[in-house]
Amino acid sequence: MFKILVFLWMVYGLEGADVVLSCSLIEEGGGMGGMMGGAMFKRTASTLVFKDLVGNDDLSPELVTPYNPPETPNADDLIFELTLPSIQIPNADLLLHADCNEQEVVCEISHYVPRGAEVDSLPAHFIGSVQLEGGGISLTLVLQTLHNETTQSDTQPLMQSKLNLPLSQSGTLLTEVVFVVFSRVPSIVAPIGSDVLLDCGFRQKNSIPGQDVALEWRIQHRGNGRKILDIKARETETDVGQDLFVDREGTSAEADLLVRDGNASLTLRRLKVTDEGTYICTVGSGEFQTQQIVQLHITQPPHITLSEEKLVFQDSTPQKLSCHCHRYYPLDVQVEWFSQAPSEEEPVSLSKESSLSSHRQHSDGTYSLSSHLHLRPDKNPPGTVITCRVSHPALETLSDATLTVGKPDPNTVFWTVILMLAISVMFLYKAFSGAGAEN
C-alpha cells in the first residue's frame, strides 16, 4: 500500500478548520506490470482540501497555519477542494491531530462511475480513500464535482490538463461529498469466545425515503473468501422491511439502524480462530456503492506451567525441567530461561541451553509448545531461582513461571544411603551364593 506522511495544515476560519492532505491520483497505467517493466497503475501527486471540516471551538488561532491556494492557478495542479460538506463526516477531527501525533495518513483518489451513469458524464465523480494509520478513522468518500463560481461571461474557466475539467478561480477542482462509507475502528483485537462489533457506517446526501439500502459483509483470509451476511432493507410507512442472508451462526446486523441511522456494523458472537481475517463492508444506496475494510485479529494468551512444582537435587544427576505453554493464538510465542543463584546479583540467561518441542495445533485452532532445560546441581545450588519467561502478542506484559531449587532433606539423604547399601549387600550376597553353588 502506498503510504505518505501527511502534510497537514489547519486553517482557522469563520466557519471551522480546513484539513489539507497530500494524496495520489490513481489511474490505470496500461502496462503489463511486474517483471515486464510496465506499471499497472499510474500515480500522480494531488492534494485533497477539506474545507471547514470541523468547528473551531477548540482551536486556537496561534496553533494553525492558513492554507492559501496558489497565487497563479496552474492547469497542471491537481487540487480537489471539498466545499462545506453537506453530510457529516464522523470523527473527522482526528485528522486535525494526525501531524501532531506523528501519524501517517494514506490518501488516494481515483475516478468513479455511479451506477447507471456514463463514463464521461457530468458531473464527474471521484472516490477518495483516507486512512489514519495506527488507529482512528478510515473513510471512503464519493466526490461529485460542482459548478464553478460565477464568472464574467467572456471569461473561460481554466481547464485541468489531466482531467479536462473546469477549475475554480483559485485553481482548485470544486467537489462535494455525496456518499461516504466509514469505520471508526478499522482494526480490532478480540479474544476467543468473546463477542465483537465490527464498526461500519454510511452517510448519503439527499437520500430518497423508502429507497433500498444494500449491505454485504464478506471475510477474506489466507486467499479464501466468503459472504457471511447480506441485507437489503427499506423503510416503509410502518416499519423496516428486509431480505436477509446469514452464513455464520451468531452473526447479525440491524436493518432498522442501517436504514434510519446509516449504521452498518456487524456483530459476531462467540469468536473462534476461524473468524480472524479481513472483513469487507459494502454499502449500496441509490446510484452509489462503495466499501470499507475492518481487520479482525483473534488472540488467546498462553497458560504457562512448569513440569515440577519443586526441584531438589539428591545427587549429581542433572534434572529435566519443562515449561509448557498451553492453547495460545496466534503462533508467535517466545520462551526464555533464566537462573539466579543466591550469590548472583543479576539473573543469567539459560536460553541457549534449552530446547523447544514442535508446535502442537488443537482442534480449536490454538497452539501449545514446550521448552525443556537440563539443570545441573553444581551450577544450580539450593536457593537458585529458575524462571521461564514467556512473551506473546496476547500478553500485555511478560509472563513468568518460577521455582526455587530446594535443599535435600537430611532424612531423605540418610535413607537413600541406607537403601544403596542394602542393594549393594544383596548384590554381593547373590554373587557369593552363586559362586558357592558352582563349587
Set of cell numbers at residue 281: 463492508
**pTM for the model:** 0.82
Name the strands in the sheet holding 213-221, side by side, starting at the edge strand that comes first in the sequence: 187-191, 288-299, 277-285, 213-221, 224-235, 240-246
Cell numbers 482557522 correspond to what residue?
12
For the chain, residues with pLDDT lower than 70 are: 1-16, 29-39, 54-67, 84-86, 148-154, 237, 409-425, 427-429, 431-439
Picking from 391, 348, 356, 398, the residue whose alpha carbon sits closest to that of residue 373 is 356
- pLDDT given at position 249: 92
SS3 sequence, 357-402?
A: CCCEECCCCCEEEEEEEEECCCCCCCCCEEEEEEECCCCCCCEEEE
pLDDT tens by residue, 388-426: 999 999 999 999 999 999 888 665 545 555 666 666 667
pLDDT computed for residue 36 by the predictor? 45
